[in-house]
Amino acid sequence: MNERILIVDDEPEIVRVLRGYLEQAGYRVLTAYNGPEGLRRARQEAPDLVILDLMLPGMDGIDVCRTLRQNSSVPIIMVTARVEETDRVLGLELGADDYVTKPFSPREVVARVRAVLRRYQGTAQPEPVLVVDDLRLDVGRRTVRRGQEQAELTPSEFEILRTLMSAPGRVFTRLQLLEAAQGEAYEGYERTVDTHIKNLRRKIEPDPPNPTYILTVHGVGYKIRES
């Protein structure tokens, strides 16, 4: 296991504990203690995953996440001491793949890291290419194109779109899509899926306010249109 994890948190004790658990699990760990430093290390050292605190000096985690997402699809796990759902939704809207709230179990964080990396890296077996009209998802290469334009998706967005495109016309509940994105053991808000769907539509729909690919089935969930 050679994956490099960047921890960006201004609390040295949290960094120390997380670093110990992650290194024990076989990961290599990079650290930063403020927003600008975290952004610089993420850009220069290209980690495989970023654990990003929401409240940071110099530049908060929201701004770091927003800036990273301008040109990177690196998996991001947001860490926050805030409990309001709006904070979590904001992080997800900006492209975070998962979040944990303080206080947390270091073992839980390691489990989340493993799950997000597993989704991001995909499987070793040959995978199909899924096509709906001019929307094309290559599972093995983990790429998505609409026509000639490539869409840069986060791991969670990719897994949701992959699930929808695997069965055009089938309606998936929010819980089913949440499990596809985060794993069956994940405990979170089903409405989190709405945030990922909003981001997906922004990236793949010709007219996001009037979607033609990802359709809402009111009272149930979502489906991808049939070709």
Q: Which listed CATH number (3.40.50.11540, 3.40.605.10, 1.10.10.10, 3.40.50.300) goes with 129-224?
A: 1.10.10.10
Common-topology check for domains 4-121 and 129-224? no
Query: In this structure, are residues 199 and 184 in contact, taking their beta carbons and an 8 Å threshold?
Result: no
Q: Examine the pLDDT at 177 and tell me if it is beyond 70.
A: yes
Query: In this structure, are residues 80 and 87 in contact, taking their beta carbons and an 8 Å threshold?
Result: yes
- Is the domain covering 4-121 a CATH 3.40.50.2300 domain? yes
Nearest to 213 by CA among 221, 222, 36: 222
Q: What is the pLDDT of residues 49-95, one digit of tens each?
A: 999 998 899 999 989 998 998 888 899 999 887 656 666 677 777 77
Give me the amino acid identity at 41: R
pTM: 0.60
Parse the chain into domains and list their residue ranges.
4-121, 129-224
C-alpha distance from residue 158 to each of 24, 36, 136, 181 (Å): 29, 28, 12, 8
211 vs 104, residue with greater confidence: 211
